[in-house]
Homo-oligomer: A and B are copies of this chain.
Amino acid sequence: MKKLINDPNQVVTEMLEGIVSAYPESMKRVEGTTCIVRKDAPVKDKVALVSGGGSGHEPAHAGFVGQGMLDAAVAGEVFTSPTPDQVLEGIKAVDGGEGVLLVIKNYTGDVMNFEMAAELAEAEGINVEKVVVNDDVAVEDSSFTTGRRGVAGTVFVHKLAGAKAEAGGSLLEVKEVAEKVIANVRSMGVALSPCIMPTSGEPGFELAEDEVEMGVGIHGEPGIEKKKLVTANEIAKELTEKVLPELELDRSVEVAVMVNGMGATPEMELYVVNRKIQAILSEKGVQVHETFIGEYMTSLEMAGCSLTVLKLDDELKELLDSRSKAPAFRK
């Protein structure tokens, strides 16, 4: 294991200190917690957005804290949901009296810990609502399972619901926007090489020199299948074909596209993949309103990428375009 760290057991704390010291104008740490909140939190009379999850997905989630996006990001250990007491601290630090929306990615651990935090917050008289993001089409929905995972589409939920809150929306209005985004966003990823947890020093999974994992999760969880490495065009095609159908796009529709690097992917490769994605979309007559390329929801040093497509309407477009001062999503 070759990492630029000091102590595997201190990596989350030190990372949080590193983020806050990078962006002191935008954010601050809630003393003694793993919560990073807006510099001006709590913002009086504004609905607050709280998200978070395991660490290792940087810039998610703290990079999205700032005016126009999140009020708080609660960090867990690497790939491990934060605990209810920490989430509660985040909620309390940002509640400005108009209530708090929790944005949760659909993992059993995250759902349970955030739910428990919501119960605790409500017991303290804070008005809490929650949404669960489940944009990953790799793992099919079924009434027998826990449902789809939440991945990079979560970033759009932060952005658009955050914009709605900034614009003065009520808790239910902000929640409605979040749910509309969730209903209209789909993602899928592919891995070329695994990530290595700092504490164990072990790769999360194995891939042969000529293999990729299609549909990989953001913790390196196995996806649909291991298959032979094919060209960027074929991978772009497969991702697009999986992501698009449920969105039922027709020629009149506009979308936002995110090609997200998983951590170790050269940006050059993201552009090569994007080229084919855009070609396919344009062939289908889908209008791309805006494209985002870069690292938004990573998995440590995993190599690979994910595609996220968000179907837009006029309301969502306006919310996407509005200003954000979050360091990792400036608009």
Residues of A bordering B, CB below 8 Å: 2-7, 11, 14-19, 21-23, 25, 55-56, 58-59, 63, 192-193, 195, 209-210, 229, 231-233, 235, 259, 263-275, 278-279, 290-291, 293-295, 298, 300-301, 303-305, 327-328, 330-331
A268 touching B303 by the CB < 8 A rule? no
Partner of A18, one of B16, B210, B273, B300: B273
Partner of A193, one of B2, B275, B290, B330: B2
Partner of A232, one of B5, B259, B304: B5
| Minimum CB–CB distance for A116 against chain B, Å | 26
Partner of A268, one of B15, B294, B304: B15
B56 touching A291 by the CB < 8 A rule? no
B269 touching A22 by the CB < 8 A rule? no
Q: CB-nearest residue of chain B relative to A271?
A: B18
Known pairs A4-B192, A4-B265, A266-B263; A14 contacts B272 (CB<8 A) = yes
Known pairs A17-B275, A21-B274, A275-B14; A233 contacts B267 (CB<8 A) = no
With A63-B267, A330-B330 known, 5 other A-B pairs at CB within 8 A are A3-B232, A21-B275, A55-B268, A56-B266, A58-B266
Chain B residues near A231 (CB-CB < 8 A): 5-7
Partner of A272, one of B11, B259, B264, B327: B11
Compute how far the CA of A275 lies from the CA of B59 in the bound complex, rounded to whole angstroms: 15
Partner of A2, one of B14, B55, B229, B233: B229
Known pairs A266-B263, A266-B298, A295-B295; A272 contacts B5 (CB<8 A) = yes
| Minimum CB–CB distance for A270 against chain B, Å | 8
Chain B residues near A295 (CB-CB < 8 A): 267, 294-295
Chain B residues near A304 (CB-CB < 8 A): 4
Partner of A22, one of B55, B268, B293: B293
Chain B residues near A63 (CB-CB < 8 A): 267
Chain B residues near A273 (CB-CB < 8 A): 4, 18
Q: CB-nearest residue of chain B relative to A274?
A: B18
A4 touching B235 by the CB < 8 A rule? yes
Known pairs A58-B271, A268-B58, A301-B303; A278 contacts B22 (CB<8 A) = yes
